[in-house]
Structure 1
Protein backbone atom coordinates (compact mmCIF):
# COMPACT_ATOMS: atom_id res chain seq x y z
CA UNK A 1 0.00 0.00 0.00
CA UNK A 2 1.29 3.48 -0.90
CA UNK A 3 1.16 6.20 1.72
CA UNK A 4 1.50 9.86 0.78
CA UNK A 5 3.70 12.07 2.97
CA UNK A 6 0.53 13.70 4.34
CA UNK A 7 -0.94 10.28 5.20
CA UNK A 8 2.24 9.35 7.08
CA UNK A 9 2.06 12.62 9.03
CA UNK A 10 -1.59 11.98 9.81
CA UNK A 11 -0.87 8.45 11.01
CA UNK A 12 2.00 9.70 13.17
CA UNK A 13 -0.19 12.34 14.81
CA UNK A 14 -3.08 9.94 15.33
CA UNK A 15 -0.76 7.54 17.16
CA UNK A 16 0.60 10.44 19.22
CA UNK A 17 -2.78 11.44 20.67
CA UNK A 18 -3.55 8.06 22.20
CA UNK A 19 -2.88 7.20 25.80
CA UNK A 20 -0.93 8.79 28.60
CA UNK A 21 1.40 11.60 27.55
CA UNK A 22 -0.63 12.39 24.43
CA UNK A 23 -0.27 16.16 24.67
CA UNK A 24 3.50 16.01 24.95
CA UNK A 25 3.81 13.47 22.11
CA UNK A 26 1.54 15.52 19.87
CA UNK A 27 3.53 18.69 20.51
CA UNK A 28 6.85 16.90 19.94
CA UNK A 29 5.54 15.39 16.70
CA UNK A 30 4.25 18.65 15.22
CA UNK A 31 7.68 20.13 15.87
CA UNK A 32 9.48 17.11 14.36
CA UNK A 33 7.19 17.14 11.31
CA UNK A 34 7.65 20.89 10.74
CA UNK A 35 3.96 21.58 11.37
CA UNK A 36 4.20 23.73 14.48
CA UNK A 37 3.34 27.07 12.84
CA UNK A 38 0.50 25.52 10.85
CA UNK A 39 -0.91 23.83 13.97
CA UNK A 40 -0.90 26.99 16.09
CA UNK A 41 -2.43 29.01 13.26
CA UNK A 42 -5.18 26.41 12.82
CA UNK A 43 -5.80 26.24 16.57
CA UNK A 44 -6.09 30.04 16.84
CA UNK A 45 -8.52 30.14 13.92
CA UNK A 46 -10.70 27.49 15.57
CA UNK A 47 -10.67 29.25 18.94
CA UNK A 48 -11.72 32.48 17.23
CA UNK A 49 -14.60 30.75 15.43
CA UNK A 50 -15.79 29.17 18.69
CA UNK A 51 -15.65 32.52 20.49
CA UNK A 52 -17.54 34.32 17.72
CA UNK A 53 -20.23 31.64 17.64
CA UNK A 54 -20.61 31.84 21.43
CA UNK A 55 -20.90 35.64 21.31
CA UNK A 56 -23.56 35.46 18.60
CA UNK A 57 -25.56 32.81 20.51
CA UNK A 58 -25.45 35.01 23.62
CA UNK A 59 -26.14 38.33 21.85
CA UNK A 60 -22.76 39.74 22.77
CA UNK A 61 -21.13 42.25 20.47
CA UNK A 62 -17.56 41.56 19.47
CA UNK A 63 -14.85 43.17 17.42
CA UNK A 64 -13.36 40.95 14.75
Structure 2
Protein backbone atom coordinates (compact mmCIF):
# COMPACT_ATOMS: atom_id res chain seq x y z
CA UNK A 1 0.00 0.00 0.00
CA UNK A 2 1.62 3.25 -1.06
CA UNK A 3 -0.33 5.37 1.42
CA UNK A 4 0.87 3.37 4.38
CA UNK A 5 4.57 3.95 3.60
CA UNK A 6 3.95 7.63 2.93
CA UNK A 7 2.32 8.02 6.33
CA UNK A 8 5.36 6.51 8.03
CA UNK A 9 7.63 8.88 6.15
CA UNK A 10 5.44 11.85 7.08
CA UNK A 11 5.45 10.81 10.73
CA UNK A 12 9.23 10.45 10.72
CA UNK A 13 9.56 13.87 9.12
CA UNK A 14 7.23 15.37 11.75
CA UNK A 15 9.34 13.84 14.52
CA UNK A 16 12.53 15.35 13.11
CA UNK A 17 10.78 18.69 12.57
CA UNK A 18 9.69 18.75 16.22
CA UNK A 19 13.24 17.99 17.30
CA UNK A 20 14.64 20.78 15.12
CA UNK A 21 12.04 23.35 16.22
CA UNK A 22 12.72 22.44 19.82
CA UNK A 23 16.46 22.80 19.35
CA UNK A 24 15.98 26.26 17.80
CA UNK A 25 13.63 27.37 20.59
CA UNK A 26 16.03 26.11 23.23
CA UNK A 27 18.91 27.95 21.53
CA UNK A 28 16.97 31.20 21.35
CA UNK A 29 15.97 30.74 24.98
CA UNK A 30 19.62 30.23 25.91
CA UNK A 31 20.70 33.31 23.95
CA UNK A 32 18.00 35.53 25.45
CA UNK A 33 18.09 33.94 28.92
CA UNK A 34 14.40 33.02 28.54
CA UNK A 35 13.89 29.96 30.73
CA UNK A 36 10.32 29.47 29.52
CA UNK A 37 11.46 29.27 25.91
CA UNK A 38 14.30 26.93 26.89
CA UNK A 39 11.84 24.60 28.61
CA UNK A 40 9.43 24.77 25.68
CA UNK A 41 12.25 23.85 23.33
CA UNK A 42 13.32 20.92 25.49
CA UNK A 43 9.73 19.70 25.67
CA UNK A 44 9.34 19.92 21.90
CA UNK A 45 12.58 17.99 21.38
CA UNK A 46 11.38 15.28 23.76
CA UNK A 47 8.09 15.08 21.88
CA UNK A 48 10.02 14.59 18.65
CA UNK A 49 12.20 11.88 20.20
CA UNK A 50 9.11 10.04 21.45
CA UNK A 51 7.50 10.20 18.01
CA UNK A 52 10.70 8.91 16.46
CA UNK A 53 10.85 6.01 18.92
CA UNK A 54 7.22 5.14 18.17
CA UNK A 55 8.01 5.06 14.45
CA UNK A 56 10.95 2.73 15.07
CA UNK A 57 8.67 0.39 17.01
CA UNK A 58 6.17 0.44 14.14
CA UNK A 59 8.96 -0.37 11.69
CA UNK A 60 10.02 -3.38 13.77
CA UNK A 61 6.50 -4.80 13.71
CA UNK A 62 6.14 -4.22 9.96
CA UNK A 63 9.00 -6.63 9.27
Q: So what's the TM-score if we normalise by structure 1?
A: 0.45
Whose RCO is larger (CA < 8 A, sep 6+)? 2
Larger radius of gyration: 1
More helix by share: 2
